[in-house]
C-alpha cells in the first residue's frame, strides 16, 4: 500500500558508497567483538583481528554486492518474499566465502591453527555468526528505510494539505466567469467577487479552525452560486436541511472541498448535468451530512483523478484530528452514483 | 475568418465571442458546446480556426482535435484552458497553440494571426503526454458523407480482413483505417482478443458456444453470427468469462 503511495521501495538502496561504508564499519566492529571475546591462543591478538577482519569484510562486501545486483529482480516480489530472498542471499554468500576461506587456509597457507580442524564446524560457526549479524543489519536497514519513507510521506501529506485548499482549476475558471459576467451582468459579477472573497478568506484561515455548520453551509452556498454561473442549468442543487439553528462545530472547509469534488468529478463531466443533494440529519449522537451526486458510469477514457482522493483524505484527516476519532467519513460508490457521508459527533464541544 | 468556439460553459463562449467582436476583425463566429457538436459543425462549415476547450462532457477537446485533424480541410486549432497541468505540459512539449482563461484580448489576436494546423505528429505527441486523453470515446470513420463518429462502447467487435479493419456497429460493419494492434493497445480494457484477427467488446459478450465442426465461438449481443475463437486464445477467453 505505502509502496504505491510514496513510490519508494520496501528495500533499502544496497548500491552506493554510503551503504558500503556502513557495511565496512559493521564488519570491522564485528571483527573487534570476535577478537575481544576469544581467549589468547598461540595466534596473537593482532593476527586474529586481521584474520577476522578479512573474513568479515569479505563476507560483508560480497553479500552487499550480491544484494545490489539482485535488488532489481527482488524488488517486484511481495515484501516478505523480498526480505526472505535478501536474507537467504547473505547466508548463501557466507557459506561460499567460508568454504573458499577453509580451502585457502588449510590447503595453501597452512594456517590451520586459526580455523580449527573441523571443516563442518568451521562452516557452521561462520554461518551462525553471519546469520545473526546480517539479521541485525538487515533489520537496521529496514527500520531506517521505513523511517525515511514515513518522513517523506508526511511531508507529502502536508504539502497536499496546503495545495488542497483552493484548486487552481476552480480559481481560474471562476476568474473567467467573472470576466464574462462583468459586461453582461455587473450585479452578478459583483456577487461572484464577494462569494469568491469569502472562499479565499476561509481557505487562508489556518487548517482545522472551528466554524459552525451554519457558517460552513453559507460558504458552500456561495461556492455553488459561483459554479452555477459557470454551469448554468447543468448544475442543480437540492438542500435538505433541518429547521433551526445549525450550531454544530466542525473544521472550516470540510463540506466545500467535497462539494467541489461532486462538481468537478460528477456534474461537469455529464452532458445533461445533474443534481447535487446535501442532506443533513440531526440526531442525539451527532449530525449526519450526506452529499450525493451522479457520476459518469464506465465511460472509456475517464480515469479516476488523483485529486479526488487527495481532497477527500484531507477532509477525513482534519475530521479525525478535530473530533479525536476515525471513521467519520464514509463513501458509497455505485455505477453512476457517488455519495459521501459525514458524521459530526455531538461531543468535544469545547474545541 | 470563420471561427468556431467550443466550450461547455456558455459564459466562456460569450466572453470569447465578445472579444472577437471587439477586435473588429469581421470574423464569422460559430459555437458548439462539446466535441461531438464541434465536429459536426466543423465538417459542415469548414471553419478556419477552432478555439477548443479541453475539459468538456461528452467529448473533450483533445479527442475532438484528434478527429478534426482527419477532416478533409482540417481547421487550425487553438486550445483554451483555465488550468490543467498535464495539458499545459503537453502543449509546451508539442508546440501546440493554447490560450489561458480568462483570455487576454491581445493574446487572442496574436494566436489568431499565427493560427496553424495541427500536424499529425503533434496529435500523437498530445495523446502520449495526456494520460486522460489516450483512450478515445469515439472512432472516426472516413466515409463518402464525411467523417462518421462511432462511439467505442457501441462497437461489438473489430475484425481485421486483408487490408482493413471492420467494426461492427448498429447491425452493420464500418471500415476503420487503423490497425487492429493499435486499437487493441488503446482499448485494452474494453476489448478482448479472441483470434489473431478479431477483438470483441467485453460488454457485448453473451457466452461461448461450440460450433458444429467442434471449434469454439463467442456469441455477442445484437450480432447474428458467432465470432470464432482461436485455440490459442481460448483459455484466456474462458478465464475472462469466468471472471465477469
**pLDDT tens for residues B2-49?**
999 999 999 999 999 999 999 888 899 999 999 999 999 999 999 999
Residue numbers in A near B10 (CB within 8 A): 232
pLDDT one-digit tens code per residue, A56-98: 999 999 999 998 888 888 877 777 888 888 899 999 999 998 8
A180/B12 Cβ within 8 A: yes
**Structural contact between residues A294 and A266, judged by C-beta atoms closer than 8 angstroms:** yes
Count how many pairs of residues, chain A against chain B, have C-beta atoms within 8 Å.
76
> Which of B5, B36, B57 is best to mutate for the A interface (most A CBs within 10 A)?
B57
User: Is the minimum CB–CB distance between A118 and chain B shorter than 8 Å?
Assistant: no
pLDDT one-digit tens code per residue, A199-238: 888 877 655 578 899 999 999 999 999 999 999 999 999 9
User: Is the minimum CB–CB distance between A335 and chain B shorter than 8 Å?
Assistant: no
Question: What HEC string does chain B produce?
Answer: CEEEEECCCHHHHHHHHHHHHHCCCCCEEEEECCHHHHHHHHHHHCCCEEEEECCCCCCCHHHHHHHHCCCCCCCEEEEEECCCHHHHHHHHHHCCCEEECCCCHHHHHHHHHCCCECCHHHHHHHHHHCHHHCCCCEEEEEECCEEEEEEHHHEEEEEECCCCEEEEECCEEEEECCCHHHHHHHCCCCEEEEECCEEEEHHHEEEEEECCCCCEEEEECCCCCCEEECHHHHHHHHHHHHHC
C-alpha distance from residue A295 to each of A265, A273, A298, B238 (Å)? 7, 9, 9, 32
Task: Closest CB to A268: pick one of B55, B100, B189.
Answer: B55
B12/A171 Cβ within 8 A: no
pLDDT of residue A44: 74
For residue A104, name the pLDDT band (cuts at 50, 70, 90). Answer: confident
pLDDT one-digit tens code per residue, B213-223: 989 999 999 88
Residue numbers in B near A270 (CB within 8 A): 57
What is the distance in angstroms between the Cα of A174 and the nearest Cα belonging to chain B? 9
Q: How far apart are CA A47 and CA A114, in angstroms?
A: 9
Kindly state the cell numbers that stand for A210: 472551528
**Structural contact between residues B84 and A305, judged by C-beta atoms closer than 8 angstroms:** no
Q: How far apart are CA A9 and CA B200, in angstroms?
A: 38
Kindly state the cell numbers that stand for B213: 465442426
pLDDT one-digit tens code per residue, A233-253: 999 999 999 998 889 998 888
In chain A, what are the domains? 17-149 (no CATH), 165-345 (3.30.565.10)
Whole-model pTM: value is 0.67
pLDDT of residue B16: 94
Percent of chain A with pLDDT over 90: 31
ipTM value = 0.78
Q: Could you tell me which residues of chain B have a Cβ less than 8 Å from any Cβ in chain A?
A: 8-12, 14-15, 18, 34, 55, 57-58, 63, 82-84, 100-103, 131-137, 152-153, 187, 189-190
pLDDT one-digit tens code per residue, B154-193: 999 999 988 889 999 998 899 998 899 989 988 888 999 9
Question: What HEC string does chain A produce?
Answer: CHHHHHCCCCCCCCCCHHHHHHHHHHHHHHHHHHHHHCCCCCCCHHHHHHHHHHHHHHHHHHHHHHHHHHHHHHCCCCHHHHHHHHHHHHHHHHHHHHHHHHHHHHHHHCCHHHHCCCHHHHHHHHHHHHHHHHHHHHHHHHHHHHHHHHHHHHHHHHHHHHHCCCCHHHHHHHHHHHHHHHHHCHHHHHHHHHHHHHHHHHHHCCCCCEEEHHHHHHHHHHHHHHHHHHHHHHEEEEEECCCCCCCCEEECCCHHHHHHHHHHHHHHHCCCCEEEEEEEEEECCEEEEEEEEECCCCCCCCCCCHHHHHHHHHHHHHHHHHHCCCCCEEEEEECCEEEEEEEEECCCCCC
Residue numbers in A near B58 (CB within 8 A): 271
Sign of CA dihedral A258, A263, A269, A274: positive
Amino acid at each position: 500500500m505505502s509502496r504505491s503511495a510514496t513510490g519508494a521501495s520496501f528495500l533499502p538502496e544496497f548500491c552506493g558508497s554510503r551503504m558500503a561504508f556502513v557495511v565496512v564499519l559493521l564488519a570491522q566492529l564485528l571483527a573487534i567483538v570476535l577478537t575481544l571475546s576469544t581467549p589468547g591462543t598461540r595466534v596473537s591478538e593482532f593476527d586474529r583481528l586481521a584474520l577476522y577482519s578479512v573474513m568479515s569484510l569479505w563476507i560483508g562486501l560480497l553479500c552487499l554486492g550480491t544484494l545490489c545486483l539482485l535488488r532489481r529482480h527482488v524488488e517486484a516480489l511481495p515484501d516478505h518474499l523480498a526480505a526472505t530472498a535478501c536474507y537467504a542471499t547473505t547466508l548463501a554468500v557466507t557459506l561460499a566465502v567460508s568454504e573458499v576461506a577453509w580451502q585457502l587456509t588449510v590447503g595453501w597457507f597452512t594456517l590451520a591453527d586459526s580455523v580449527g580442524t573441523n571443516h563442518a564446524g568451521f562452516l557452521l560457526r561462520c554461518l551462525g555468526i553471519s546469520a545473526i549479524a546480517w539479521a541485525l543489519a538487515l533489520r537496521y536497514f529496514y527500520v531506517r528505510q521505513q523511517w525515511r519513507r514515513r518522513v517523506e510521506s508526511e511531508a507529502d501529506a502536508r504539502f497536499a494539505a496546503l495545495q488542497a485548499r483552493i484548486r487552481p482549476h476552480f480559481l481560474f475558471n471562476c476568474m473567467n466567469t467573472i470576466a464574462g459576467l462583468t459586461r453582461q451582468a455587473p450585479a452578478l459579477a459583483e456577487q461572484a467577487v464577494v462569494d469568491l472573497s469569502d472562499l479565499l478568506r476561509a481557505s487562508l484561515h489556518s487548517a482545522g479552525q472551528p466554524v459552525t455548520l451554519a457558517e460552513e453551509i453559507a460558504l458552500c452556498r456561495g461556492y455553488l452560486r459561483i459554479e452555477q454561473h459557470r454551469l448554468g442549468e447543468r448544475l442543480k442543487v437540492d438542500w435538505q436541511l433541518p429547521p433551526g439553528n445549525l450550531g454544530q462545530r466542525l473544521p472550516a472547509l470540510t463540506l466545500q472541498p467535497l462539494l467541489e469534488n461532486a462538481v468537478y468529478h460528477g456534474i461537469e463531466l455529464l452532458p445533461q448535468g445533474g443534481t447535487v443533494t446535501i442532506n443533513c440529519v440531526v440526531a442525539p449522537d451527532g449530525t449526519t451530512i450526506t452529499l450525493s451526486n451522479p457520476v459518469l458510469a464506465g465511460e472509456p477514457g475517464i480515469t479516476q483523478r488523483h485529486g479526488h482522493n487527495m481532497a477527500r483524505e484531507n477532509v477525513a484527516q482534519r475530521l479525525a484530528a478535530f473530533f479525536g476519532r476515525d471513521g467519520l467519513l464514509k463513501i458509497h460508490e455505485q455505477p453512476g452514483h457517488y455519495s459521501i457521508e459525514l458524521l459530526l459527533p455531538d461531543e468535544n464541544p469545547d474545541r | 475568418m470563420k471561427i468556431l468556439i467550443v466550450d461547455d460553459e456558455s459564459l466562456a463562449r460569450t466572453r470569447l465571442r465578445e472579444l472577437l467582436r471587439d477586435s473588429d476583425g469581421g470574423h464569422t463566429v460559430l459555437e458548439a458546446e462539446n466535441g461531438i457538436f464541434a465536429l459536426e459543425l466543423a465538417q459542415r462549415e469548414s471553419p478556419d480556426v477552432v478555439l477548443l476547450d479541453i475539459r468538456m462532457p461528452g467529448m473533450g477537446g483533445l479527442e475532438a482535435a484528434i478527429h478534426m485533424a482527419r477532416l478533409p480541410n482540417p481547421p487550425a486549432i487553438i486550445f483554451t484552458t483555465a488550468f490543467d497541468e498535464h495539458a499545459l505540459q503537453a502543449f509546451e512539449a508539442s508546440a501546440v497553440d493554447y490560450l489561458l482563461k480568462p483570455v487576454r484580448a491581445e493574446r487572442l489576436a496574436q494566436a489568431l494571426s499565427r493560427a496553424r494546423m495541427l500536424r499529425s505528429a503533434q496529435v500523437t505527441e498530445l495523446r502520449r503526454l495526456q494520460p486522460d486523453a489516450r483512450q478515445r470515446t469515439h472512432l472516426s470513420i472516413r466515409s463518402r458523407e464525411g467523417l462518421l463518429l462511432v462511439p467505442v462502447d457501441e462497437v461489438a467487435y473489430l475484425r481485421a480482413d486483408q487490408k482493413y479493419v471492420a467494426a461492427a456497429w448498429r447491425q452493420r460493419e464500418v471500415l476503420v483505417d487503423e490497425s487492429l494492434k493499435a486499437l487493441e493497445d488503446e482499448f485494452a480494457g474494453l476489448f478482448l482478443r479472441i483470434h489473431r484477427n478479431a477483438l470483441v467488446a467485453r460488454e457485448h459478450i453473451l457466452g461461448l458456444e461450440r460450433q458444429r465442426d467442434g471449434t469454439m465461438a463467442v456469441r455477442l449481443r445484437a450480432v447474428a453470427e458467432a465470432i470464432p475463437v482461436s485455440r490459442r486464445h481460448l483459455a484466456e477467453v474462458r478465464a475472462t468469462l469466468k471472471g465477469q
